Amino acid sequence: MNYERPELLDKLAGAYVLGTMAARARPRFARLLGQSTVAQRAVADWNNKLAPLFHAVAPVTPPDNVWTAIAARTRPRRQAAATSWRERLLAWSRPALGFCFGVIFAIGAVNMNAHMFGMHHVDHALPASYVGVLSDAQGRTVLSAGSHRRGNTMTLKLHQPLAIPPGMVARLWALPEDGVPVPIANVPASGKIMITLAAPAEEVFAKVPRLALSYERDPAAAAPTAPFVLSGPCVKFW
């Protein structure tokens, strides 16, 4: 296989960075990285493409039971009395690990988006896209959205079920930099759907830095009448 072909190398580098490369192919590509500066540049380019998501997604604080489980698996019981230094190290490392969780989620969001657009295999590259990640007041990621830059559809995926009040709908909004919220679609309580946009994604999201969701009584509401229960960044991915 000629790894120096630009098109092939870009696809391989994208799959390597996004984590969608086959397990058997990954070690071979890692060896290529140690030998080819062209491959190194291709991977660096993909890391630069991901950089906006690293900054757009807030760090995630793991729940307390995560630390309890880590402690149970890493601290021998008979040495419990001599682990004070470990406790201090764990306490110091929690903020850093919280940031890492945020970065990991950002990669996960892009990885999820890659699957939306068919990047299950190495020979598919993620097209230019708009990606949104919406969280609740507790910082939990609830909804993600993805659309081709020049497409007319958007895929919505619920990571947590919505507690939609009876007689109301969950309505997704685009929040332009300078303007009133624009209705996008009504969102189901759970699952994954594809919606048709009122205009190409480039027209809808070009000047939209954030998305939000509110519960509305009118399923065709032109403007939000209730507080937003979810909100998050809308990132240009190209």
41-97 per-position pLDDT tens digit: 888 888 777 766 666 666 667 777 877 888 777 776 555 444 454 555 455 445 545
Going from the C-alpha of 29 to that of each of 14, 23, 32, 186, the distances in angstroms are 12, 10, 5, 43
> Mean per-residue pLDDT for 114-128?
48
Query: Does residue 198 contact residue 147 with C-beta atoms inside 8 Å?
Result: no
Q: Delimit the domains of the chain by residue range.
A: 1-122, 129-237
Share of the chain above pLDDT 70, in %: 72
Q: What is the pTM of this model?
A: 0.55
Give yes or no for a contact between 64 and 72, defined as CB atoms under 8 angstroms apart: no
Average pLDDT over every residue of 157-173 = 95
φ/ψ of residue 218, rounded to 5: -90, 115
Average pLDDT over residues 174-188: 93
For the cut 90, the answer to whether the pLDDT of residue 161 exceeds it is: yes
H/E run at residue 230: strand 228-237
Provide the pLDDT for residue 15: 83
Report the pLDDT value the prediction gives residue 4, as an integer from 0 to 100. 66
Residues 6+ apart with CB under 8 A from 68: none
Per CATH, the architecture of 129-237 is what?
Answer: Sandwich (2.60)
Q: Quick check: 171 and 221 in contact, CB under 8 A?
A: yes
Looking at residue 17, its pLDDT comes to 81
How far is the C-alpha of 195 from the C-alpha of 197, rounded, in Å? 6
pLDDT score of 6: 81
Grade residue 217 by pLDDT with cuts at 50, 70 and 90: very high
Render pLDDT for 27-49 as a digit per residue (tens, 0 to 9): 888 888 888 888 888 888 887 77
